[in-house]
Structure 1
């Protein structure tokens, strides 16, 4: 990875973190952290677990329920992806998921990669639905309204691209043929083979029942994620509110599309403080919520990822990113 990519991510994270801590009163922050009711962490952990389980179920559906790849393996690989994302920048965890699952002949790299793309589109749809609900309940937040409309525009563009691939596969295939034509023969055929697998990953969009199931799991995952943030708000607020949780979750979803440091350190804090500040939550409280919520997600998913990595590769090293391993 080029050094400039690291520097861009570091700069973005540093600017976001600066925005979060600018003017922050440290004694007030320390007092908020000390006074927290940390019993709320247990329901937050439960909600986080349910969110990952829903995402695993959705991934299995998008992969057409591959034979020989049970739920627990997809759970392991998904969490390994989170672990790698926490350690390396630029969403390298998604590459990790492709490489680990591509060890199985029934899940070729093109299919796995396309399933991840469809995941992101479904995430945008689910978050846009929840953001629209929150906006309808409290329409006076101007900054959040702009964010919601921007999210709807991004969602619409992504859906259009996937619709073309799903319902006009001949168009997509002609494009793939044109893009791969300049490459040498054997490599060109390999690329086209992966393109066919990728297009097969869009079959779920042509099946109303499967599409409804995938969207349902997406909504379940994001409701659980919002519940996790709501529970962490309960650590610091006597009366937590669902609407700030939904809006913050929406902003984080779109904010994490930009490059940053591993684990989105700084970006999470900056976005959380900005959104909650618009909703009247004090800076020290919002920063405390962001730190505890982010730390919980970071540590818990990293532990699950380490366990999954051990179960899948027999090692805690990331050598599989450089070579093709056989399934354990």
Structure 2
């Protein structure tokens, strides 16, 4: 089943890659590559690193109800996890992050994973907030607005489910325990234990100030990420595009990254980057060049830093590979 999912992901990536490369003129792409202003790569890399720093710092607030966690541990686990996302299939980097922080700080892996699920929900809400701002300042076609509405519904439903689980946590635990009592003893205990740990990870929703700071740093994170996209514009001689354009493009790229595909989201990243740029009338050949260079920077940073921390923490690549395949 696992191999089947991997091949499905690769197939999805190949389909998007086909549409991204369709009607591309290689000569024009090579010409654009030759005219790139590489000096702007440095601010792109700086703001890319900053997004991971902010992400790790924000992660602290998800654990405040459990114990204080060192920033170094959070940053290390974050970089190793995102490295895994870029090298391994099925986006198992999220499980790897939970495994690494759980192992280093002696925290339940299920509870750690619950914080990552919550983190993604907050990412979605903050990105939707920025999307509303983008819609105010730029007259997008109805098709684009509909995509935003669909994702808004998905995030609100997911958030509603998590909040409901937290509000009625005791009742949910009793129902889970009741259902697990009909399962084989070891399996039932394992599922019940993981569920209880997961629900305990939702405790952060009880503290209003923690929620406020999580939302605040979520906005900062997306602004830093948008700045990494914004500084790529002059790199490819697209200086006429604004920060608002960069925000919209970031939203399109994020939608592409949400689609299950090959490791590092090859294909989906290129297609949705080019699709976003096409809204602003950018030539497809320039769009492909832009997508390739941006993707390389987004790949190199977490892989190199993640590999450094993998060696520093004396964790083998095989260990994180197997941890991603285990239940948290």
Q: TM-score range by the shorter chain?
A: over 0.9
**Whole-Å Cα distance in 1 between the matches of residues 288 and 86 of structure 2?**
20
Pairs aligned (count): 323
Structure 1: gaps spanning 5 or more residues: none
Aligned runs of 1:317-328 on 2, under 5 Å?
317-322=317-322
CA contact (8 A) 1:63 1:107 kept: no
Give the Å deviation of 1:271: 0.6
Match for residue 285 of structure 1?
A: 286
Partner Cα distance (2:72, 2:31) in 1: 42
Query: Unaligned regions of 5+ residues in structure 2, if any?
Result: none
- Aligned match of 1:3: 3
Instruction: Give the corresponding residue for 1:180.
Output: 180
Partner of 2:227: 227
Tell me the CA shift for residue 26 of structure 1: 1.4
Asked whether 1:74 is paired with 2:71, we answer no
Question: How far apart are 1:170 and its partner, in Å?
Answer: 2.5
The answer to whether the aligner puts 1:266 opposite 2:267 as a matched pair is yes
Q: Deviations over 1:285-309 (max 9, x none)?
A: 2111111111001011100110111
Aligned-partner Cα distance in 1 for 2:216–2:10: 36
1:306 paired residue number: 307
Label 1:117 to 1:315 Cα distance change in 2 as closer, same or farther (>3 A). closer
TM-score (norm 1): 0.92
State the distance in 1 between where 2:294 and 2:323 align. 34
Mapped to 2, the partners of 1:280 and 1:132 lie a distance apart of 22
Secondary structure (helix, strand or coil) at the match of 1:276 reads helix
Tell me the TM-score normalised to structure 2 length. Answer: 0.92
Counterpart Cα distance in 2 of 1:267 and 1:73: 31
Task: Quote the offset at 1:75 in angstroms.
Answer: 0.6
Deviations 1:189-223 (A, max 9, x none): 34323322211211111211111111111111111
**CA pair 187-124 structure 1, distance change in 2 beyond 3 A:** same
Q: Does 1:135 align with 2:164?
A: no
SS of the residue aligned with 1:260?
A: coil
Shift of 1:186: 4.3
Aligned to 1:252: 253
**Structure 2 partner of 1:90:** 90
2:146 corresponds in structure 1 to: 146
Residues 1:207 and 2:207 aligned together: yes
2: CA distance, partners of 1:302 / 1:173: 39
Q: CA deviation at 1:231?
A: 0.9
What per-residue deviation string (whole Å, max 9, x for no partner) do you get for residues 116-144 of structure 1?
10011111101111111101111332232
Note closer, same or farther for the CA distance 1:105–1:178 as it changes in structure 2 (3 Å cut): farther
CA distance in 2, matches of 1:110, 1:319: 18
Q: State the alpha-carbon separation in 2 of the partners of residues 270 and 126 from structure 1.
A: 24
Q: Write the mapping of 1:11-26 to structure 2, written as runs, cut at 5 A.
A: 11-26=11-26
